[in-house]
Amino acid sequence: MPSVYFYRFRSCLFRCTGLLLLCSLLLLLSAGGFAGEKNLSNHDPVQGQKIRVPVLVECNYPPFLFRDNNNQMQGISIDFLKALEKKTALSFYWSPCSSFSENLKKVMTEEKAVMPNIVTTRKRLKTFLFTDPYLTIPAVILERRSEKEATGDITSKDLVGKTVSVGKGYAIADHLITSHPGILLREVDDDRAVLRKLALGEVDYAVIDIAVAVFMINEEKITNVRIAGSTDFKYIFRFAVSKNNLRLHKMLQNGLAQIGEEEKSEITRRWISVDYPGVFVSTGIWPIVLISMAVVVVLMFTAFFWSTMLRRQVFKRTVELKKLAEEREQLIDDLEAKNTELEQFVHSVSHDLRAPLVTIRGFLRLILESFEKKDYHEASKDIQRVLNSAATMNDLLEALLELSRAGRFSNQPEEIDMSELAGEAARLLENSTGTIAVDDNMPRVMGDRVRFLQVWQNLIDNAIKFSHHDREMKIHIGGSRDNGNLVFFVRDNGIGIAPEHKDSVFFLYKKLIPAIPGSGIGLAMVKKIIEYNKGSIWFESDETGTVFYFSFPA
């Protein structure tokens, strides 16, 4: 009998031990399961206490996520998160703004964070837990407006071989790469940059969701972009959390389940005022819609008409004012140039005319002394010197008079064969000690033949006077068309112009070498004639010779 009781006791002990082991195993499994959910916080909240959860946001994604003028977060997703706060024990706060691609990286490392406005992809399903959808928005194709609008809607297939801007890291990029690999994608930081690239003509098309397209086009007042068609892709927005945060995912799911369709529609209508494809409008309101559209069209036409008239008047007045301003600036520049020329003229005339007067005055005094001494022979020589000085003064005054005439036409303008005219000037100044070569077929100009003959004569005469005594004189005259201008030149192999004289070559009465005969107004006269004809003159010089150029608009 004792052995029977012993075996029964041992059997009962084994059963109790087995039950204890089974309960311990269940407790361990439960503890492990709860441990997987403890990632949200280190302890369960007491009743009434909210669990703070960071939200990874983009601050430049209207109308879903953006900061308003008061630096407050606004948008459809913000309103959904506020609705979730009322349905759950969660309290959301906004993390510092980052781009969408940067937030994708953060949500993998910040296990307690939630990311709104995310679409599932095969790659993301391996990394994140997604809630049920809370909003569906179709993706559309945008293009730049042109004078000839497209006749039909554009589809994703039409984008093959074209440059298309999309958001960096967005699901639409993966979709287009997979479905239409021939599209040349240009990924940028956000949808605002996507629209900007299209508006500036840096890409052919852009693909974004229709809500962002309408909101940003209106907000940015982008007038050269239109919706050209739809894609075969829809943004099915969900909330995403780290795959390790089962508890947060469950709380978000439960909260979304408590938000009814009516409340979802109310949140959506608060931010989006367009009808998406597939949304039906009651036929009873079509007459009202059509009448409203007709009124809007009439108002828009009236506003457009008045706006066009006003723009024309403003443009006309702006052109007139701009022309007056340009004329005023030109007048001021001309006056300043004339003042400078007048100052130079007065200085030169006073200096060069004083010299003969001083000579005459001095010799008259000597003549008086000679008459007092009855030295008539010496007086006669002094009288000759006075006559020479008077002749010099007369020459200076004649040259001055000629210079004053150089600034105006003396004959009717006519078409001038510059090759023939330069040849005539060369023959008048023909020099037996060298050669003067004149190119044929130089461009023709309209002007006063007499004045242009003076230009060629003075430039050729200048080249002859300053020829080099150690080499045979060679003068080359030519001209051609260059970048819309008629350019002519006189090239010599003379002594050149010293660097210290290069700034005073065109000065009145300026003689670089006093021993060489001349009045000193030749180049000043040339400059005045050319500038009067809206041209310009310049020169290049070194020890091998000098080239004088002058040009006119063609």
More confidently predicted of 192 and 546: 546
Q: What percent of the chain has pLDDT over 70?
A: 77
**Is the pLDDT confidence value at 283 over 50?**
no
pLDDT, position 133 = 93
More confidently predicted of 45 and 361: 361
Q: How confident is the model at residue 9 (pLDDT cuts 50, 70, 90)?
A: very low
Of 530, 522, 525, 521, whose CA–CA distance to 550 is shortest? 530
Q: Is 437 within 8 Å of 511 (Cβ atoms)?
A: no
In angstroms, rounded to a whole number, what is the distance separating the alpha carbons of residues 132 and 146?
41
2, 160, 256 from 271: Cα distances, Å: 86, 33, 19
pTM here? 0.42
- Asked whether the domain spanning 411-553 has the same topology as the one spanning 51-275, the reply is no
pLDDT, position 487 = 95
pLDDT, position 382 = 78
pLDDT, position 44 = 44
More confidently predicted of 86 and 20: 86
139, 199, 205, 229 from 185: Cα distances, Å: 15, 16, 10, 18
pLDDT, position 170 = 87
Q: Is 243 within 8 Å of 110 (Cβ atoms)?
A: no
According to DSSP, the β-strands at 205-209 and 163-167 are parallel
pLDDT, position 491 = 95
pLDDT, position 164 = 95
pLDDT, position 28 = 43
pLDDT, position 220 = 77
Both structure tokens of 314: 């403003």
350-407: pLDDT as tens digits: 555 666 776 777 778 888 888 888 888 888 877 887 787 777 667 666 656 665 655 5
For the chain, what is the radius of gyration of the CA atoms? 48
pLDDT, position 41 = 41
In angstroms, rounded to a whole number, what is the distance separating the alpha carbons of residues 270 and 266?
6
Q: Average pLDDT for residues 145-160, to the nearest whole number?
A: 75
310-341: pLDDT as tens digits: 888 898 888 989 888 888 888 888 778 767 76
**Is the pLDDT confidence value at 53 over 70?**
yes
471-482: pLDDT as tens digits: 889 999 999 998
pLDDT, position 185 = 92
**Is the pLDDT confidence value at 296 over 90?**
no
Q: Is 200 within 8 Å of 84 (Cβ atoms)?
A: no
Of 198, 203, 212, 168, whose CA–CA distance to 183 is shortest? 203
Both structure tokens of 26: 């269940």
pLDDT, position 388 = 73
Q: Which CATH class is domain 51-275?
A: alpha beta
Which CATH number is 411-553's, of 3.30.1300.10, 3.30.565.10, 3.40.309.10, 3.40.50.300?
3.30.565.10
Per the prediction, the chain carries an average pLDDT of: 80
**Is the pLDDT confidence value at 258 over 70?**
yes
Q: What percent of the chain has pLDDT over 90?
A: 25
pLDDT, position 288 = 62
Both structure tokens of 111: 């296990």
429-481: pLDDT as tens digits: 776 678 899 999 999 999 888 889 889 988 998 888 888 888 889 999 999 99
Q: How confident is the model at residue 270 (pLDDT cuts 50, 70, 90)?
A: confident
Q: How confident is the model at residue 17 (pLDDT cuts 50, 70, 90)?
A: low
181-204: pLDDT as tens digits: 999 999 998 888 888 899 899 999
The full set of domain ranges for the chain reads 1-37, 51-275, 286-406, 411-553
Of 112, 63, 119, 53, whose CA–CA distance to 88 is shortest? 53
Least confident residue range of 72-76, 101-105, 292-296: 292-296
pLDDT, position 73 = 87
Q: How confident is the model at residue 129 (pLDDT cuts 50, 70, 90)?
A: very high
**Is the pLDDT confidence value at 3 over 90?**
no
